[in-house]
Structure 1
Amino acid sequence: MSLHEPGAVDPLSLAGVVPPTITAFDDEESLDLERTAAHARFVVDRGVHGVFPLGTNGEFALLTDAERDRVVEAVVDEVGGEVPVIAGVGAPSTRQTVAHAEHAESVGADGVVVVTPYYFPLDGRGAVEHYQRVAEAVSVPIYVYHIPGRTGNRLSLETLEELAAIDGVAGVKDSSKDVPWLVQAMDACPDLTYLAGSDSLLFAGLEVGCAGMVSAVANVFPELVVELYEAYDEGDEAQAHDLQRQVFAVRRAFKSGGGYMAGVKSTLPMRGFDAGPLRSPLRLLDDEEADALSEQLAAIEGVGEHLSLEK
């Protein structure tokens, strides 16, 4: 694999901006499938290159198994065939993960994203057996989701090499924010596709060889992140770096209130898209926090114009 290209074993050749799309709820925190699908449409119509329902921003850990399956169905029905839909299917148990993966494949998802099992400690052998069973159950490509800060389970480079040898494992979405680990992973397993999983490392991820990025900022400002990717892809690294600074500013604004996810969902109405609340115990920003966030975002070059046009 050369720098900034999908891996040789990735049948989707996944690249570009792939937002971890939100799950919408009504005022009673019941699943709103129409608005969930509409958010996938919102980002696709603004130029993203794929969608990832049921990532962290999709609040997957707060949904029932049946709700998760319905979200995948709704997103595939809305944008499937236009861009790759890679569905989050990970769960603490292998049995649940396999069931979600089989369902996602059956309804037309193009690939599945399998977060490392969480809550219980997992050793390398357990991780390999887990992904092997998923790979035996489905024929769509599998992307390993590495986010040890949330799962409590970090993959060693040796374990990743074993995972890369599994037929069907196509890539890694790395949210560890550990650039040395990522660079060594690319060196050890060059045939995989790598996706940068933190808005703090979009430009840096492209620089070290990621083919694309899973960006929460792109859930609200897809134009900004798509412009960053396209500038880099066209060889204008200076412009891409400047746009990363804007993403940093948005990221800081999102994190200044009740947390990153609260920032994302509290900003969407400023763009004319109401995704409803976060599911408890998560919360949206209160009015005072939202007003402060709006002021911060309006002051960011290249961002405020979107709010003024669409709020």
Structure 2
Amino acid sequence: MQATAPQTGPLTRQSSGNGAISRLRGNWATLLLPINADESIDFGRLEIEIEALIEARVDGVYSNGTAGEFHNQTEAEYEKIQELLADRCISAGVPFVIGACHPDPSVSCGRIRRAARLAPDAIQVILPDWVPVTDPEAVDFLAIAADAASGIPLVLYNPPHAKRVLTPAELGAVLRQAGPAVHGVKLADGGALWYSAARQHLADWAVFVPGHHLATGISEGVAAGAFSNIACLSPRGAQLWTDGMSSNLPAALELERRIRVFLDTYILPYRIGSGYSNAALDKLLAGIGNWAPIGTRLRRPYRWIAEAEADRLRSVARASIPELFQG
């Protein structure tokens, strides 16, 4: 499929360092794969999910993050997922980012080249992960990725479970050397010292913090947005919360406090106590929100949380954070 370039998104950010203009901002919802009992991807349910995200009017949709199980799909499945996403988002004028992540840099660059033909707003990549890279190797990989992307902006994904988690200072140095192709970075934030370092070293890039920390990231003057776990729970609610940050940040911070309490009390114990992955937690959130027929199943060998748990927690979520379920 050869897609045409998408329309300009509603939110912009002017980079002060590399001069690039990015549409990467706001509340981005992740694409979660509906997995059948026979381990196949249910593309019919996936299409319904994409349409639900478009109807929720999220700032953008992205594919093949960790919760999108990029690490456990064939290349043929990869292409079909991205073609479906591009077709629906371009038709609706919705910004979209394609994840081309893979621990193998050769496979990743092949995915980048195929993603670029679909004209996304950006392509998300990770640093090669089987053997941790040095700073010069990270710069070289990003140069190779930029060449494969053919002018499409890159977003670097540096999650907490990466073999090399870069500090803001390290990240800023790598991105500066890598040149203007990288427009954004998705990472985990920290406390006051982390935010101080991020303001110093990452001001030239769109910084995406965890979804349940977005109001804090905005209040600290660092976050451009989130590739959001809260959009897994309620894409429309996450969008309303994000939109409200520009008019009533104190109220958004209060809602964030209650979101964190809900996650700490009812969701994180599945990871800390039972060892479930973040992807399993994100699918549990989608099951609780019940906004599309995604299901909580992951592709084996990864374990998933039973849908009965989502049913059990649905009323708890609506009572704890009702603002996310209005409308």
Offset of residue 170 of structure 1: 0.8
Q: How does 1:89-238 map to 2 (within 5 A)?
A: 89-138=100-149, 139-147=151-159, 149-156=160-167, 157-165=169-177, 166-175=179-188, 177=190, 180-196=193-209, 198-208=210-220, 209-234=222-247, 236-238=248-250
The alpha carbon displacement at 1:5 in A equals 7.0
Match of residue 4 from structure 2: none
CA contact 1:146–1:154 (8 Å) conserved in 2: yes
For 1:145, the aligned partner's letter is: Y
**Partners in 2 of 1:216 and 1:71 — Cα distance?**
20
- The two structures, once aligned, show a CA RMSD in angstroms of 2.6
Corresponding residue to 2:13 among 2, 6, 12: 6
Kindly indicate whether the alpha-carbon contact (under 8 Å) linking 1:23 and 1:71 is maintained by their aligned counterparts in 2: no
How far 1:54 moved relative to its partner?
0.5
- Report the alpha carbon displacement of residue 275 of structure 1 after superposing the two structures with TM: 1.3
Unaligned runs of at least 5 residues, structure 2 = 1-10
SS of match in other structure, 2:123:
strand
SS in 2 for 1:152: coil
The amino acid that maps onto 1:83 is: V
Q: Name the counterpart of 1:244.
A: 256
* 1:135–1:180 distance in 2 versus 1, CA, 3 Å: farther
CA contact 2:34–2:46 (8 Å) conserved in 1: yes
After TM superposition, the structure 1 stretch with the greater mean CA deviation from structure 2, 82-91 or 261-270, is: 261-270
* C-alpha distance in 2 between matches for 1:287 and 1:231: 31
- How far, CA to CA, are the matches of 1:41 and 1:245 in structure 2? 30
Distance 2:309 2:202 in 1: 44
Among all aligned residue pairs of Structure 1 and Structure 2, give the percentage whose two residues are the same amino acid. 22
Task: Tell me what 2:49 maps to.
Answer: 39
Q: Deviations over 1:273-303 (max 9, x none)?
A: 2214211122332365344323432432316
SS at match of 2:61: coil
Rate the CA distance shift 1:40–1:295 in 2: closer, same or farther, 3 A.
Answer: same
Further displaced range: 128-137 or 157-166: 157-166
- Inter-CA distance 301–145: structure 2 relative to 1 (3 Å threshold): closer
Tell me, what secondary structure is at the counterpart of 1:143? strand
1:26 matched to 2:46? The reply is no
Counterparts of 1:146 and 1:288 in 2: how far apart (Å)? Answer: 33
Deviation at 1:108, TM superposition (A): 2.6
Does structure 2 conserve the Cα–Cα contact (< 8 Å) formed by 1:173 and 1:195? yes
CA contact (8 A) 2:52 2:291 kept: no
77-86 vs 100-109, greater mean Cα deviation: 77-86
Cα deviation, 1:200-233, whole Å, max 9, x if unaligned, reads: 4211111222111111120231222212211111
Return 111-120 or 291-300, whichever deviates more.
291-300
Structure 2 Cα separation of the partners of residues 30 and 87 of structure 1: 21
Structure 1 pair 193/240, CA: closer, same or farther in 2 (3 Å)?
Answer: same
Q: Is residue 2:95 matched to residue 1:84?
A: yes
Tell me the CA shift for residue 266 of structure 1: 3.7
1:65, distance to aligned residue in structure 2 (A)? 2.4
Q: C-alpha offsets along residues 20-65 of structure 1, whole Å, 9 cap, x if unaligned? A: 2212222212012232232232222112101111011101111122
Residues in 1 aligned to 2:141 and 2:191: alpha-carbon distance in whole angstroms: 23
What secondary structure sits across from 2:228 in the alignment?
A: coil
Aligned partners of 1:207 and 1:304: how far apart in 2? Answer: 20
Distance 1:275 1:159, change over 3 A: closer
Residue 14 of structure 2 contacts residue 22 of structure 2 at CA under 8 Å; is this kept in 1?
A: no
The alignment status of 1:286 with 2:299, answered yes or no, reads no
Report 1:68-83 matches (<5 A). 68-80=78-90, 82-83=93-94
User: How many equivalent pairs are there?
Assistant: 301
8 Å contact from structure 1 (residues 5, 211) kept in 2: no
**Gapped regions of structure 1 (runs ≥ 5):** none
TM-score between both structures, scaled by the size of structure 1: 0.86
Measured at CA, do residues 167 and 145 of structure 1 come closer, stay the same or move farther in structure 2, by a change above 3 Å? same
